[in-house]
Amino acid sequence: MTKPIGLDITTPLGHHLGLSVFKPKSSNYKSIIISSATGVLQHFYFKFATYFSELGYTVYTFDYSGIGKSNPNTTHLKQNTINLKDWGENDQTSVIGYAKAKNPNHKLIVITHSIGGQILAFNKNMANIDAIITVASQSGYWKLWKGYERFKMFAFWYALIPSLTPLFGYFPAKKIKLFENLPKNMVYQWRHWGKHKDYILGEFNFEDLQFKNFNKHLLALSFPNDEYASKSSVDWLAKQFINAQVNRQHIIPEDLNISNVGHFGFFRSQFKESLWKMTNEWIENNT
């Protein structure tokens, strides 16, 4: 696997953000930024990033403030005042600005996983993005799920976050084997959205968000049996990009003769010859 170059950039809010850059041997003059799911370390995306760097892309991964390489320790996490809006307006925006400054002539593609697509709402570098692919990026409003998944989402917003976060000073996701620990302000804002039928729009006016400022190609992907991103929740987010050329695909694994994808499978190397190849073809055709 291609060894990434580790970087540390200082954001406008003054904190350090941990990046990894995968440089190709021969460039195709396109850059990809992977914006992670909530509490998922950038290392999870390294095989995916390596695959695309070997195709000629310059690929960037990063950890949001409070996570992984962007969080020194638990003490720092308890003191972290970053919220979810900051993850988009500060962290994601900074990485896009950095990538564009390093390679101003590259086409820039942003691939988001889950919450990475939601925080595009606050990305003030939207004009620098040439194409977006959202992978299971969704609304988190709990009623957009059915059955047991709906109960789990309800319990997450109404029980787990409000009971555990004050106890620890951050959300201790690792202790309940969910994902990486999360800053308290971030998780409280996330909870506020998840309880509201309009999700982000329960706190912010649509006109104040960046969704409307993207007018290029966007591929919005979802998959069956995804406990964290129901089809209707992904539909909701895709509809917020009112000026984009949206290609909405709910991919049935059997149609591609592949196994179940779920919420995390897209970035696993078993889908190199199917979903990854399809993604590259879409980028080539739309940038």
pLDDT category of residue 18 using cuts at 50, 70 and 90: very high
CA dist 236 and 231 (Å) reads 9
Up-side HSE of residue 100: CA atoms within 13 Å toward CB?
Answer: 15
What whole-number percentage of the chain has pLDDT above 90? 86
Q: Is residue 217 part of a domain?
A: yes
Share of the chain above pLDDT 70, in %: 99
Q: What does the pLDDT look like over 251-271, one tens digit per residue?
A: 999 988 888 999 999 999 999
Task: Name the domain count of the chain.
Answer: 1
For the chain, give the mean pLDDT.
94
Measuring CA to CA, which residue among 10, 7, 5, 52 is closest to residue 32? 52
Distance separating alpha carbons of residues 280 and 86, to the nearest angstrom: 30
Q: Is the pLDDT of residue 147 over 80?
A: yes
Residue 192 maps to a domain: no
pLDDT-based confidence at 1, cuts 50/70/90?
A: low
Checking if the pLDDT of 40 tops 90, the result is yes
User: What distance in Å separates the CA atoms of residue 134 and residue 35, rounded to the nearest whole number?
Assistant: 9
Query: Would residue 161 count as lying in a domain?
Result: no
CB atoms within 10 A of CB 200: 26
Whether 13 is covered by a domain: the verdict is: yes
Is 42 within the bounds of a domain?
yes
For the residues 122-132, what does the mean pLDDT come to? 95
Give the list of residues 6+ apart from residue 237 with CB closer than 8 angstroms, or none: 117, 118, 134, 137, 138, 139, 220
Residue 246: CATH number of its domain:
3.40.50.1820
Put the strands of the sheet holding 217-222 in their side by side order: 5-10, 16-22, 58-62, 30-35, 107-113, 131-135, 217-222, 245-250
Q: What is the DSSP string of 50-74?
A: HHHHHTT-EEEEE--TTSGGG---H
Is 156 contained in some domain? Answer: no
Query: Residue 35 belongs to what domain range?
Result: 5-140+208-286
Residue 82 scores a pLDDT above 70? yes
- pLDDT bucket at 96, cuts 50 / 70 / 90: very high
**pLDDT, tens digit (0-9, with 9 covering 90-100), for 157-202:** 999 999 999 999 999 998 888 889 999 999 999 999 999 999 999 9
> Could you tell me if residue 274 is inside a domain?
yes
Checking phi first, is residue 169 left (phi over 0); if not, alpha (psi -120 to 50) or beta? Answer: left
Domain assignment of residue 173, yes or no: no
